[in-house]
Amino acid sequence: MRRVFVAGGAGFIGSNFIRHLLRERPDVEVVNFDALTYAGNLDNLRDVAGDARYRFARGSVADRAAVLGAMRGCDAAINFAAESHVDRSIEDAADFIDTNVRGAHNVLAVARDLGVGRVLHVSTDEVYGPATREQPRREGDAFRPRSPYAASKAAGDLMCAAFSETYGTPVIVARPANNVGPYQHPEKAVPLFVTNALDGEPLPVYGEGLQERDRLHVEDCVRALLLLLERGEPGEAYNIQADNHQPNIDVARAILDLLDKPYGLIRFVDDRAGHDPCYWMDATKVRALGWAPSYDFARAIEATVRWYADNRWWWERIKAGEYRAYYERQYGARLAGGRRYED
């Protein structure tokens, strides 16, 4: 690999990936192609912006001509560009179709037309729908997406499979679990809980807080992604999971413990519509390539809490913007009718 096209590199996982790639592969150049929607943030890459091997190009994956302009000259491509928040997809999924379906298709079509040697498409465990430890999902299993977000991601995965079969496009699909770590937008549960706790604001836990997610540290995730970009088998998909599953209520309590804040900040609020109880994947395939997570749940959450406590400059700016209106829409009435932890 000489030059890597990264779509969505100003988002959470994308920015962590770019930092990792520049550190681990001194000879590689990076083109970060990002639309800078509400979730894209060049602050995420402030420390690498001056690197001569890094270039930023603003554009949307939904714009095929722009993708073509930015991908030209690259010999590998990775697509992080996505509308990623389930709750926003429940409000309105139109943007999710544009980015996650049309955008995925554009990246694939341009990579095919340019003869790009390797393409990695970043998907999610949510395409499989709910699963349990006893019946983990394998890569060839059926998709049963239940949210508009998950359905749009499933469509992107199917397009990858179709491009592999039809055109021989060398595309690999990665399906990571729920990531945690630095630079995650505070609409997501963990940074929302941490930053609210730091400000003494209530933590809105959906339902009874019994739904479980794997908490994969983003540094573990980006190590797996680089491995797949370089050594994954074209035409194949790979699950990425750390087996760090915890119910949301235990995550909220762990965060409050780490910050020495009272459980009384927890509010049980109306549940997410169609809330998936748990995702569980079998990650044997990526482990067979030599990957293993280095963060267990305790370390992952501790490192994450520490980062948000040390980097108020990063999230205070986000929470002051468009976020306020979103927060009011999502949580205003819910929090007013919420149930306290002690009740």
Point out which residues bind ligand DAU (CB under 6 A).
84-87, 124-126, 177-178, 188-189, 192, 204-206, 211, 213, 248, 272, 279
Q: Residue 131 or 205: which CB sits closer to ligand DAU? A: 205
DSSP state of 127: G
- Please, what is the minimum distance in Å from the beta carbon of residue 250 to ligand DAU? 11
Active site residue 126: yes
Burial degree of 1 (CB within 10 A; 0-12, 13-18, 19+): middle
What is the DSSP annotation of 132-173? -SSS-B-TTSPP---SHHHHHHHHHHHHHHHHHHHH---EEE
Taking alpha carbons only, the member of 146, 12, 34 closest to residue 84 is 12
From the candidates 34, 125, 214, 276, give the one annotated as an active-site residue.
Answer: 125
Taking alpha carbons only, the member of 184, 222, 178, 224 closest to residue 307 is 184
The greatest distance separating any two alpha carbons of the chain, rounded to the nearest whole angstrom, comes to 61
- Please, what is the minimum distance in Å from the beta carbon of residue 96 to ligand DAU? 10
Closest residue by beta carbon to ligand DAU: 124
CA angle 288, 295, 192 (to 5 degrees): 125
Q: Residue 170 or 338: which CB sits closer to ligand DAU? A: 338
What is the DSSP annotation of 246-296? EEHHHHHHHHHHHTT--GGGEEEEPPPTT---B--B--HHHHHTT------
- Please, what is the minimum distance in Å from the beta carbon of residue 252 to ligand DAU? 8
Q: Residue 107 or 255: which CB sits closer to ligand DAU? A: 255
Active site residue 149: yes
Task: Tell me the CA distances in angstroms from 271 to 152, 178, 331, one per residue in order.
Answer: 22, 19, 11
Number of Cα atoms under 13 Å in the Cβ half of residue 162: 11
- Please, what is the minimum distance in Å from the beta carbon of residue 301 to ligand DAU? 13
Asked whether 22 and 48 are in contact (CB, 8 A), the reply is yes
Active site residue 157: no
From the candidates 54, 149, 238, 279, give the one annotated as an active-site residue.
Answer: 149
Q: Residue 19 or 267: which CB sits closer to ligand DAU? A: 267
From the candidates 29, 83, 87, 126, give the one annotated as an active-site residue.
Answer: 126
Q: Residue 29 or 187: which CB sits closer to ligand DAU? A: 187
Question: Any idea which residues carry the catalytic annotation?
Answer: 125-126, 149
